[in-house]
């Protein structure tokens, strides 16, 4: 067993290392799951309160409808810049560029407005080759470029799934480093004097923004589209926006109209205007709400991959399945909770690879344990299936520790059945035919026992012992036993008809049922021979009830202890007699159960009451009538007893109980 555990631990270690390798090579499939889990964390967190000093002026459908088809003449932009500057805007960033001349007058008017403003920046757009090198740069015409405050780039770099999660804050071209619009606007918002690149960071005065080696920065999104104040472009130039709402603000001008198409996918939305992405990046950088994914986060990822994989293997190997599954589930969600808490602190740690290590280690260990236990289960099944019911086998497979000597005290309902006159029947037939008929009979009875959820204890020649209430608890064990017995009688009648049609002598079935406390469990010698069975006086009483059917000519007798547990009115019953069995001081009331209603039952019980009250003449009259009318065997017996007591009355101490002197 120690060797097997070491093998399991070694295999799970290899699986954990495989997860580490996948983490380093960045498997596209698992990386896409990780990206989705990162986006999901934003939805869990929800939007934050936006910076009130960032506003968006939208080139929206309303403006297009009022001002005409976009692009508009540059005099419109000149009007806008004059309006926004006059309102006291802190900075204006146009998410647009003007690479071609319009007209001398319009271009000059726009350039003059840019100069008067002194706070307005235009955009630059880069084009890239497949290898990532710069293929070209698009800027506004020189007249406008020279008049603008700056020309930051507006490039956004979606991940493989199209979601914009990061932004490149600096790009290099032949004119030097070009800052991203979001970085330049953050500088304006903070009032910083310069942008200073460093190793894995960019400084805006005293404000430090972490990046990677290529100045990529993860955007810690503040919220979905619409979170920032938004005004229509046409409303600003028409003076319909209160100047106080623009004063001291960093204004981002960008398209939100679907017809212009500047839509992006973000963790919050599949349809977000590009200008909203810039607004989120500016806000996050200005407030210091960065999202880091650096060496510290990578170290946490690696530790988590190894730790969760090892914990999954140890927990699953040494604890019960029910407990290990609960702990693994707790680890799964607990680690996600840990990742989410760090996410709120601005750290993006990996969820997919550590939890992949956890799941793979868990299922590998479960499979290997199951394979080992399944082999033991097969051994248990081979050992017990030949002489116990499927219920017992299933229980032993689930808990092999029960395959030991010992038992429990439990209240069961026990059934004994026997074929009447089977010995004489078997003497008339060849052994092969006897065996065939016996197997047919036992097969049919066994099927009924299984159908009624009984535990088949043993075959005793043509006899059968069955009990209910173990190994599984059954609240209605008495009812199940009686219902099964009635079906056994019906099935025996079918077999009788079949055998008679084939020329065989008819056979009949006797059944006795009792309920009481017994010892039930595995009895025998550990490792040699064990039998799951029930023993005790109440088992013996069940057997005696089956035998005493011969005396009364009945087919199915149950004890008083069984009768009181039956649903009232469901079965056809009559009290047959009170019997004191050999070796017992207490009498046992016997009840016959009939498959269908029997008109002899009610008058029989009335006659029995006369009998027990020593009114033998009255009792005999009723018993004689029942014997004649219904050919009722118990009435025949009591008719004889009444005649005997009329001739020779019993002693005064007679209590009406029949003493069965023979077993």
Spatial separation of the C-alpha atoms in residues 566 and 143, rounded to whole Å: 103
Rounded Cα–Cα distance for residues 125 and 134 (Å): 11
Instruction: Return d(Cα 419, Cα 298) in angstroms, integer.
Output: 78
At 488, give phi and psi (nearest 5°): -65, -40
pLDDT at 641: 94
CB 610 within 8 A of CB 622: yes
Q: Per residue in 406-451, pLDDT tens? A: 578 899 999 999 988 777 777 777 888 888 888 889 999 999 998 8
**pLDDT attached to residue 506:** 65
The DSSP string of 280-349 is HHHHHHHHT--BB-SHHHHHHHHHHHHHHHHHHHHHHHHS-HHHHHHHHHHHHHHHHHHHHHHHHTTB--
Distance (Å, whole) CA 54 – CA 273: 15
Residues 6+ apart with CB under 8 A from 271: 225, 263, 265
Q: Are 533 and 414 in contact (CB under 8 A)?
A: no
Question: Which whole-number Å values give the CA distances from 586 to 558, 579, 580, 582, in the listed order?
Answer: 16, 9, 6, 10
Which residues are bridge partners to 176 per DSSP? Answer: 173
Question: Can you state the angle between helices 295-318 and 321-344, rounded to 10 degrees?
Answer: 170
Residue 209: strand pairing partners: 202
Q: What are phi and psi of 257, to 5 degrees?
A: -70, 135
Name the packing angle between helices 633-647 and 616-630 (round to 10°): 150
Going by C-beta distance under 8 Å and a sequence separation of 6 or more, which residues neighbour residue 269? 224, 225
Enumerate residues 6+ apart whose C-beta is below 8 A from 309: 12, 13, 15, 16, 19, 357, 358, 360, 361
* Pairwise CA distance, residues 63 & 132, whole Å: 37
- For residues 76 and 63, is the Cβ–Cβ distance under 8 A? no
pLDDT at 507: 75
Distances in Å between the alpha carbon of 305 and those of 17, 22, 204?
Answer: 8, 11, 37
For residue 395, the model assigns a pLDDT of 66
DSSP β-ladder status, 572-581 and 463-468: unpaired
Token representation of residue 265: 């996918």
The rounded distance, in Å, linking the Cα atoms of 38 and 63 is: 36
pLDDT confidence of residue 109: 94
- Check if the beta carbon of residue 558 is closer than 8 Å to that of residue 417: no
Element (H, E) at 177: strand 176-179
Q: Which two tokens stand for residue 171?
A: 């790009």
Please state, in angstroms and rounded to a whole number, the distance separating the CA atoms of residues 96 and 153.
10
Q: How many residues does the chain have?
A: 663
Q: For residues 197 and 118, what is the distance between their CA atoms, to the nearest angstrom? A: 25
Question: What does the block give as tokens for 159?
Answer: 């991940």
Residue 505 has what pLDDT? 62
Query: What residue ranges do the domains of the chain occupy?
Result: 2-43+294-376, 49-287, 389-538, 567-663
Listed as ranges, residues in the chain with pLDDT below 70 are: 1-4, 259, 261, 371-406, 501-506, 526-528, 530, 661-663
| For the chain, the helix, strand and coil percentages under 3-state DSSP, each to the nearest 5 | 50, 20, 30
Q: Which residues on neighbouring strands pair with residue 352, listed in sequence order?
A: none
* Rounded distance between C-alpha atoms, residue 59 and residue 69, angstroms: 11
**pLDDT given for residue 387 in this prediction:** 46
d(CA 199, CA 505): 103
Q: What is the DSSP string of 575-627?
A: EEEEEEETT-SS-EEEEEEESS--TTHHHHHHHHHHHHTT-HHHHHHHHHHHH
Q: How far apart are the first and last CA of the chain?
A: 52
CATH number, domain 389-538: 3.30.70.1230
Q: What is the Cα–Cα distance from 456 to 475, expressed in whole angstroms?
A: 18
**DSSP secondary structure letter of residue 277:** H
Distances (CA, A) of 598 to 342, 538, 604, 631: 79, 29, 10, 12
The DSSP code for 153 is B
Q: What is the pLDDT of residue 462?
A: 86
């Amino acid at each position: 067993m120690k060797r097997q555990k070491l093998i399991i631990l070694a295999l799970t270690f290899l699986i954990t290392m495989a997860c580490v390798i996948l983490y380093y090579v960045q498997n596209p499939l698992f990386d896409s799951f990780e990206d989705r889990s990162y986006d999901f964390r934003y939805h869990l967190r929800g939007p934050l309160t936006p910076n009130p000093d960032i506003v968006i002026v939208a080139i929206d459908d309303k403006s297009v409808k009022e001002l005409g088809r976009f692009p508009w003449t540059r005099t419109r932009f000149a009007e806008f810049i004059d309006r926004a500057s006059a309102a006291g805007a802190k900075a204006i960033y146009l998410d647009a560029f003007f690479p071609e001349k319009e007209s001398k007058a319009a271009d000059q008017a726009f350039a003059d407005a840019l100069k008067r403003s002194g706070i307005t920046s235009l955009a630059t757009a880069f084009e890239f080759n497949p290898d990532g090198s710069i293929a070209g740069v698009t800027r506004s015409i020189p007249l406008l470029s020279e008049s603008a405050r700056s020309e930051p780039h507006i490039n956004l770099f979606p991940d493989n799934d199209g979601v914009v999660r990061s932004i490149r804050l600096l790009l290099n071209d032949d004119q030097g480093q070009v800052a991203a619009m979001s970085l330049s606007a953050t500088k304006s918002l903070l009032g910083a004097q310069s942008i200073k690149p460093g190793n894995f960071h960019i400084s805006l005065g005293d404000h430090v923004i972490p990046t990677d080696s290529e100045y990529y920065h993860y955007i810690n999104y503040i919220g979905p589209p619409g979170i920032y104040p938004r005004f229509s472009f046409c409303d600003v130039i028409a003076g319909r926006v209160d100047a106080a709402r623009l004063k001291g603000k960093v204004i981002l001008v960008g398209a939100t109209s679907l017809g212009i198409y500047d839509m992006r996918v973000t963790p919050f939305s599949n349809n977000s205007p590009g200008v909203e992405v810039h607004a989120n990046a500016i806000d996050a950088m200005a407030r210091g709400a960065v999202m880091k994914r650096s060496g510290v986060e990578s170290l946490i990822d690696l530790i988590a991959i190894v730790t969760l994989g090892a914990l999954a293997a140890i927990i699953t190997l040494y604890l019960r399945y029910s407990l290990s599954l609960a702990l693994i589930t707790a680890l799964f969600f607990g680690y996600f909770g840990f990742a989410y808490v760090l996410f709120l602190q601005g750290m993006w740690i990996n969820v997919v690879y550590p939890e992949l290590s956890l799941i793979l280690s868990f299922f590998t260990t479960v499979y290997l344990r199951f394979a080992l236990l399944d082999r033991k289960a097969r051994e248990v099944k081979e050992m017990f299936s030949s002489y116990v019911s499927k219920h017992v086998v299933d229980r032993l497979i689930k808990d092999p520790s029960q395959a030991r000597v010992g038992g429990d005290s439990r209240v069961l309902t026990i059934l004994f059945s026997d074929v009447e006159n089977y010995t004489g029947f078997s003497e008339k037939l060849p052994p092969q035919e006897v065996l065939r008929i016996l197997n047919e009979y036992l097969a049919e009875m066994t099927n009924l026992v299984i159908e009624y959820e009984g535990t088949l204890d043993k075959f005793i020649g043509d006899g059968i012992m069955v009990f209910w209430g173990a190994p599984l608890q059954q609240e209605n064990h008495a009812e199940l036993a009686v219902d099964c017995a009635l079906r056994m009688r019906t099935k025996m009648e079918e077999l009788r008809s079949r055998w008679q049609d084939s020329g065989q002598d008819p056979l009949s079935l006797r059944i006795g049922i009792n309920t009481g406390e017994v010892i039930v469990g595995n009895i025998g010698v550990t490792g040699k021979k064990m039998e799951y069975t029930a023993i005790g006086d109440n088992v013996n009483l069940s057997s005696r009830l089956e035998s005493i059917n011969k005396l009364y000519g009945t087919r199915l007798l149950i004890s008083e202890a069984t009768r009181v547990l039956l649903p009232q009115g469901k079965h056809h019953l009559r009290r047959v007699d009170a019997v004191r069995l050999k070796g017992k001081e207490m009498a046992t009331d016997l009840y016959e159960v009939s498959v269908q209603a029997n008109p002899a039952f009610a008058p029989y019980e009335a006659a029995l009451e006369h009998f027990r009250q020593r009114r033998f003449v009255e009792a005999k009259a009723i018993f004689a009538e029942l014997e004649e009318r219904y050919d009722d065997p118990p009435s025949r017996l009591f008719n004889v007893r009444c005649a005997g007591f009329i001739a020779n009355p019993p002693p005064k101490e007679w209590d009406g109980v029949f003493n069965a002197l023979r077993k």
